[in-house]
Structure 1
Amino acid sequence: MGLPQALQDCEKTCEQLGQRLQQLLQQHNISNPLLVGIRTGGVWIAERLQQQLQLQETIGVLDISFYRDDFTRHGLHPQVKGSQLPDSIEDRDIILIDDVIMSGRTIRAAMNELFDYGRPASIKLVCLLDIGRRELPVQPDLCGATLDLSDGQLVKLSGPQPLTLSLA
Structure 2
Amino acid sequence: MTETRTSSVTAEQAPVRPHGGQGGSSLMTERGRTTIADEVVAKVAGMAAREIEGVHEFGAGGVRAFGAIKGALGGEDGVTKGVSVEVGERQAAADIHLVVEYGVAIPDLAQAVRGNVIRAVERMCGLEVTEVNIAVDDVHLPRQESSAPADGEPRVQ
TM-score, length basis structure 1: 0.27
Query: Greater CA radius of gyration, 1 or 2?
Result: 2
Higher relative contact order (CA 8 A, sep 6+): 1
Structure with more of its chain in helix, by fraction: 1
